[in-house]
Amino acid sequence: MTNMMRALVKSKAETGLWMEHIPVPDPGPNDVLIRVKKSAICGTDVHIWNWDSWAQKTIPVPMVVGHEFCGEIAQVGSAVTKVQVGARVSGEGHIVCGKCRNCRAGRGHLCRNTLGVGVHRPGSFAEFVCIPEDNVVPIPDDVPDEIAAIFDPFGNAVHTALSFDLVGEDVLVTGAGPIGIMGAMVAKRS
Which of the residues are catalytic? 44, 47
d(CA 13, CA 124): 20
CA-based radius of gyration for the chain: 17
The pair phi, psi for residue 87, each rounded to 5°, is -70, 140
d(CA 139, CA 119): 24
- 4-10 and 94-95: which strand pairing? unpaired
